[in-house]
Structure 1
């Protein structure tokens, strides 16, 4: 299997992990947790799990001071900021519209990657991006009822931060172990939410056992599997391809919601899912043009 194919499968696995986030958050809310508690628990538990795995494997955890600072900023400001803004947008917008606004990030990543000279653009990537965007519109069927400006700005802000996060990660992760990278990013994000929750009094510890189990699930599936898979794939296929393939996440979420929550999949959603898959296939088969390496950029 080529690096390109392995990278694509890593991103698909990552999307599957991230796809469980919304469902598990619903269970955590039902257990009495709030968003600050969920995010602090999510990242701190993931960091603890990763630390234990790396210590058992006797993996070296130290990185250069410059790299450590970059990874901490990626976690606390980048991933933490994106997660907080996305969660805030859910309070003001329909979930489908929030998802569509967040998933403007593949287009943003593509434009920024080309403008900064990180990657070359070609018509196949453009076609794949259009297919995936069209599929998202059909799949999510966004509602514009009750739209509030704060929610729109929060969702778009999350997309912008995540786009920058991906491009920065694409530059600094070339020679780093994805597990070590994820350890720094998750721990930094978790400590940021822990400090915020302690300062504002928003941490809640009276959560039901099912609520804590959901938080543990969030730490494992959308965080450890999702983040590690994304970092591993990002190193192999680049920011643009990784972000486009990641648009499969909403499709997997819809499928899981149908299986686990009994939600109905409409014909329009089925068409959207097929369109998304078509975009990913087009990108994988014909969009693997030459990437510009960091040294060349």
Structure 2
């Protein structure tokens, strides 16, 4: 009987590893589809409204199918909507602005400094003690950014780096404030409320700026559908499903496949420059993340 249990555990673990890796690949395509959206002349508010509309439909349908749909009320509902409308919306908006200044691969690499910001916020806001692994991780991440931006002008710009670091900081703030909620709420249920709240922010921004538009071509609709489903909803579902089977630490380490996926796809599809400095800098940032996840 214990043999069967071990096999079942191994199968479950393997499935979890595969799901989190699929999630990393999915999230890794976001910048690629973002470049296609730029080339189709789709405005950032338009892209993000439809991204969150399509993702919301898929995530809510999945939760309903699994019988896990929970209606939040009161303070929990307000906090979830606030996290989406301000935290996740800011991160997403700055990410896509960053794509206007830098290659998709470079944006993905710089965004991946967010775990370092999470640690800095934990130290400054919660009073978490600074450990040696934290300092080592911080040095690796900062060294990686310096190398990527200083030695690779073809793929990076100072403005772009600052914008994407802003996105990483916004994401870290979102994660930090989500933690208290996640003690009592299923992560996917929280995401189900964050997504439409973020989409609503871009409806307001797009309407106020006059940049919100209805796509006119099949290719534009296809790009938006891919961003909403393949680069957002499926990775979210795959990540949280896999997370339950392998734990947060291992899931975080496997997720570091995300920037290399973006860099590789950018090089193949758009001939984005991949220099030795990009590779080494990206590796340093990812080592920093892995050190943090293993601490």
User: Aligned to 2:120, which of 90, 111, 120?
Assistant: 111
Alignment pair present for 1:73 and 2:55: no
Alignment pair present for 1:64 and 2:73: yes
Alignment pair present for 1:40 and 2:49: yes
RMSD value over aligned CA atoms? 3.9
Q: Secondary structure at the match of 1:174?
A: coil
Cα distance change on mapping 1:170 and 1:90 into 2, 3 Å: same
Per-residue Cα deviation, 1:262-293 (whole angstroms, up to 9, x for no partner): 54533333334444454455445xx33xxxxx
Native 8 Å contact 1:44 1:191 kept in 2: no
Which shifted more, 210-219 or 11-20? 11-20
Task: Please report how far the alpha carbon of residue 168 of structure 1 lies from its aligned counterpart in structure 2 after TM superposition.
Answer: 0.6
Task: Please report how far the alpha carbon of residue 247 of structure 1 lies from its aligned counterpart in structure 2 after TM superposition.
Answer: 5.8
User: Aligned to 1:256, which of 259, 265, 270?
Assistant: 265
The residue aligned with 1:88 is 97
Q: Secondary structure at the match of 1:58?
A: coil
Question: Counterparts of 1:56 and 1:72 in 2: how far apart (Å)?
Answer: 23
The residue aligned with 2:225 is 216
The residue aligned with 2:29 is 20
Which shifted more, 273-282 or 51-60? 273-282
Q: Unmatched 5+ residue regions in structure 1?
A: 289-297
Cα distance change on mapping 1:248 and 1:127 into 2, 3 Å: farther
Higher share in helix: 2
The residue aligned with 2:194 is 185
Task: Please report how far the alpha carbon of residue 20 of structure 1 lies from its aligned counterpart in structure 2 after TM superposition.
Answer: 1.0
Alignment pair present for 1:200 and 2:209: yes
Native 8 Å contact 1:105 1:243 kept in 2: no
Task: Please report how far the alpha carbon of residue 223 of structure 1 lies from its aligned counterpart in structure 2 after TM superposition.
Answer: 1.6
Cα distance change on mapping 1:137 and 1:15 into 2, 3 Å: farther
Question: Counterparts of 1:200 and 1:153 in 2: how far apart (Å)?
Answer: 23
TM-score where L is the length of structure 2: 0.75
Cα distance change on mapping 1:41 and 1:145 into 2, 3 Å: closer
Task: Please report how far the alpha carbon of residue 130 of structure 1 lies from its aligned counterpart in structure 2 after TM superposition.
Answer: 2.6
Equivalent residues, number: 282
